[in-house]
Amino acid sequence: MLNPLDWDLGNVPPGVAWGGVDEAGRGAWAGPVVAACAVLDTATVQKWGHVLRGVRDSKELKPERREALAAELKAILPAYGIAEVEAMAIDRENILEATMMAMRQAVTQVAVRPRILLVDGNRAPGTGLLERVVVDGDAFSCAIGAASILAKAHRDALMVALEDQHPGYGLARHKGYGTPQHQAGLKELGASPVHRISYAPVAARQRLDEGLPAVLGASLDQCTSVAELQTWVGTALRPAYGRLKLSWVEALRRRYAERLAQLAAAEGQAR
């Protein structure tokens, strides 16, 4: 099989910077979806080709090698960006739209604007750049493979940190995917604030608190400024998230939007 770097060089116009975009965590039950954008150019290929020829689909690399290669890529790439979209946004938008959102955010972070963007999968995120979708692109393209490594290494580190905050699920081990250990943790503990409650296997194991919507609604109504309302999301809604039905969350979002409009209008008139 053609080395991914050679594939890129044969599919990108000579002399231009190009980028690759990929995601990690799309199929997980917990934690964010993470996207990365890796930018390459001719000078980097000439200087660091020996490193870039070791880039593969992140799933083919052992964790230790993936982490080491991610650190190398961060040091040698002309630019890269990494973005996260959390579980609450995944449930609000759906996982496909949340993934596209993460990809767009990752691209906005790169300091070097690529002339062409290679995107893993069959849907373009709509970044405003010239985009080419490549099915199984992390296996074919060096730039996409580099993005997959950056996204996967970043997300794995996040899930290890989330294990400390939400013990008992085994997040550090399975990274939020639906393993037997994860299923057992959900059965014993219910869903945590970082679980995706729009996913049926998670919703089926939630421990719902019927009184929470009223409590949260009352605290939302007590917010007297836009800043307080924004703080309410992190201090009230997010900690309770795993104990709420998705329909309850959607009702609270509508209530939040109404309150936000009221407070924003009042603050605008006060200026």
Residues 112 and 235 in one domain: no
Residues 64 and 136 in one domain: yes
Is the pLDDT at 13 greater than 80, yes or no?
Answer: yes
> Residues 194-251: pLDDT tens digits?
999 999 999 999 999 999 999 999 999 999 999 999 999 999 999 999 999 999 999 9
Residues 48 and 114 in one domain: yes
Using alpha carbons, list the distances in angstroms from residue 52 to 66, 94, 140, 160. 13, 34, 13, 27
Residues 225 and 148 in one domain: no
Residues 122 and 228 in one domain: no
Residues 122 and 232 in one domain: no
Is the pLDDT at 1 greater than 80, yes or no?
Answer: no
Handedness of CA 206, 97, 107, 131 (dihedral sign): positive
pLDDT score for 62: 87
Q: Which of helix, strand or coil describes residue 86?
A: coil
pLDDT score for 33: 98
Residues 17 and 150 in one domain: yes
> Residues 39-51: pLDDT tens digits?
999 999 999 999 9
Residues 150 and 231 in one domain: no
- Domain containing residue 38: CATH number: 3.30.420.10
Q: Which two tokens stand for residue 152?
A: 């996967």
Our count of domains for the chain comes to 2
Residues 232 and 105 in one domain: no
Determine, yes or no, domain membership for 242.
yes
Handedness of CA 143, 145, 151, 154 (dihedral sign): negative
pLDDT average, residue stretch 247-260: 97
Residues 243 and 126 in one domain: no
pLDDT score for 66: 93
pLDDT average, residue stretch 14-38: 97
Report the percent of the chain where pLDDT is more than 70.
100
Domain of 39? 4-163
Residues 156 and 220 in one domain: no
pLDDT average, residue stretch 63-90: 96
pLDDT score for 268: 84
Using alpha carbons, list the distances in angstroms from residue 37 to 16, 81, 102. 16, 5, 10
Give dist(CA 213, CA 245) in Å, integer: 9
pLDDT average, residue stretch 147-167: 97
Residues 129 and 258 in one domain: no
Q: pLDDT band for position 58 (50/70/90)?
A: confident
pLDDT score for 75: 97
